[in-house]
Amino acid sequence: MNVLAFFAHPDDETMLAGGTLALLAREGAQVHYVCATRGEGGELGEPALCSRAELGEVREQELVCAVRALHGRSLTFLGHVDPTVGEDDEVFSYSDNLTFVAGQLTSSIEQFKAEVVLTHGSNGEYGHPAHRFTYQAALVAVRALAEQATAPVLYSVSASFVDHPLPFLANQDDPANLVLDTSLVLEAKQAAALCHRTQHALFVRRLSEEAGRQLSVPEVIVSLESLHRVFPPLDNDLDDPLAEMLASYILKQA
């Protein structure tokens, strides 16, 4: 099975769905990664690990490392520039041209003969405009391919369910159709997270504050992950290759 993981920035793939992606690779899927930007506008690390001008190249290599840790088959960057975080931590989308980005994704789906696409949730997890835009582009691309009867199954990540381990990242409008135990590949997900060195402070900041102590990156990596089937809707009788492949890891299915 060919899977395409489409995310806005380096590290999104790991922190939101690294366990699922590693499980798919373990079960024999060819997982292809497509990243819209190189994360040029993100954090530099604490202390800074590079200059702002160098960050895109550094994060590109961090994602290369993470994809290797998750046993991905390929990595493609779409070439969009990630805007720098603004005042009061305001974040922005990398594009407003939905048709163009959906077209880029369609080309990747066709290139890799993807049967399944995984992407951000409709709420952008914590409301990130780039995440929401990426979800919208994926939906446009898949719906267009459906008109040709060549559409993959589209899933969004970090779907909402009771006792979500990271509720501040849960997409509240996307109820979980699959809740997965990815503990078997937790070490691979942790290794991928450690690849994203410039983002380590970001990974642990909120949870360290909640815990009242400084946490390490491996401590904040969770094994419980969830997916929402976006297209086709669940009432469609189409076979679902992802659910079939991951059946032994499903804790809850709706």
pLDDT computed for residue 176 by the predictor: 97
Is residue 76 pLDDT above 80, yes or no? yes
More confident residue, 17 or 240: 17
- The amino acid sitting at 204 is V
* Span 122-150, pLDDT tens digits: 999 999 999 999 999 999 999 999 987 77
pLDDT tens digits, one per residue of 81-109: 999 988 888 999 999 999 999 999 999 99
Mean pLDDT of 22-40: 98
pTM, whole model, 2 decimals? 0.96
* Cβ(115)–Cβ(77) below 8 Å: no
230-249: pLDDT as tens digits: 999 887 666 789 999 999 99
Mean residue pLDDT of the chain comes to: 96
We report the CATH number of the domain holding residue 207 as: 3.40.50.10320
Q: What is the pLDDT of residue 88?
A: 85
Which H or E element spans position 229? strand 224-231
Q: Quick check: helix, strand or coil at residue 35?
A: strand
* Exposure string for 68-101, b = 16+ CB within 10 A, e = fewer: ebbbbeebbebebebbeeeeeeebbbbbeeeeeb
Residue 188 vs residues 51, 70, 166, 180, 191: alpha-carbon distances, Å = 29, 6, 19, 16, 5
pLDDT in tens, 46-58: 999 999 999 999 9
Task: For 150-190, write each residue's pLDDT tens digit.
Answer: 799 999 999 999 999 999 999 999 999 999 999 999 999 99
Provide the domain limits for residue 243: 2-253
Give the mean pLDDT of 179-203: 98
Query: Domain total for the chain?
Result: 1
What pairs with residue 5 in β-bridges? 33, 118
Structure confidence at residue 237 (pLDDT): 63
Query: What pLDDT is recorded for position 150?
Result: 79
35, 134 Cβ separation under 8 angstroms: no
SS3 of residue 123 by DSSP:
coil
